[in-house]
Amino acid sequence: MPLTKLSALPHVARLLQYKKPVKITLFGSSSTEGVGASSIATSYAGVFEQTLRAAVPDKLEVINRGIGGQGAVQMHDRLAQVLADKADLVIWQGGVNDPLTGVNLTDFEQITRDDLRALRESGADVALMDLQWCRLLDECPVAPAFQASVHALGQELEMPVFPRFEMMKQWSKTYGLGREDLSPDGIHMGDTGYQLLGEAVATWVLELAEG
């Protein structure tokens, strides 16, 4: 399926062009932390770094700022830590726990909008990741509104959004995988899902940087 055609990652693109070091912060909740993976190496962050390092050898630093169970409020409380990383690219992954815990959509949008703007104003490229395909979100009536909100924020702020939900549906068809093969416990991805996710996001970042 086609990925987003929104703005490329100009800061990362310049660094890659001139073979400069690249620092990336992954900022999110359990998917970013790697809950459900059998090891750090098989998590989304681990696979992402391994895949990207082939294109950025010895000049890549990936910082994992994922903490499971967090929503927009908790991530906002950690924003200063992420800003202090002074990353060249921040990949924001959120919006999953908020619908599951009854957070108001308007509050989620305002907090997230302000945080994303602050990240961009720090000089970093910023990219987003939407919600996953899993049982708990399928059973949550308000989850589609949060999914749509992540894409709306990306469009509003001209930040690319990795379409995880649709990609997981595509992987299911391509590889004959069921929903529970990708998210075995109903919410967290497992090794198979993380492998596909990490490789796909790394490839996506390089494609965006290349324009």
pTM of the predicted structure, to 2 decimals: 0.95
Non-local (6+) Cβ contacts of 48 within 8 A are 26, 62, 197, 198, 199, 201, 202
What Rg value do the Cα atoms of the chain yield, rounded?
16
- What angle is formed at CA 164 by the lines to CA 188 and CA 130, rounded to 5 degrees? 85
* DSSP-assigned beta bridge partners for residue 28: 66, 93
Q: Domain map of the chain by residue range?
A: 10-210
Determine contact, residues 195/42, Cβ cutoff 8 Å: yes
- How many of the other CB atoms lie within 10 Å of CB of 94? 27
Tell me the C-alpha distance between 7 and 123, whole Å.
Answer: 15
- How many of the other CB atoms lie within 10 Å of CB of 80? 9
Homologous superfamily assigned to 10-210:
SGNH hydrolase (3.40.50.1110)
Determine contact, residues 124/157, Cβ cutoff 8 Å: no
Nearest C-alpha neighbor of 180 from the set 118, 119, 138: 138
Q: What are the E-state strand segments in 102-202?
A: 125-129, 161-162
Non-local (6+) Cβ contacts of 187 within 8 A are 30, 96, 132, 134, 135, 136, 137
Residue type, 155: Q
DSSP letter for 172, please.
H
* Ordered per-residue pLDDT tens for the chain, 211 residues: 334 444 479 999 999 989 999 999 999 999 999 999 999 999 999 999 999 998 887 799 999 999 999 999 999 999 999 999 999 999 999 999 999 999 999 999 999 999 999 999 999 999 999 999 999 999 999 999 999 999 999 999 999 999 999 999 999 999 999 999 999 999 999 999 999 999 999 999 999 998 7
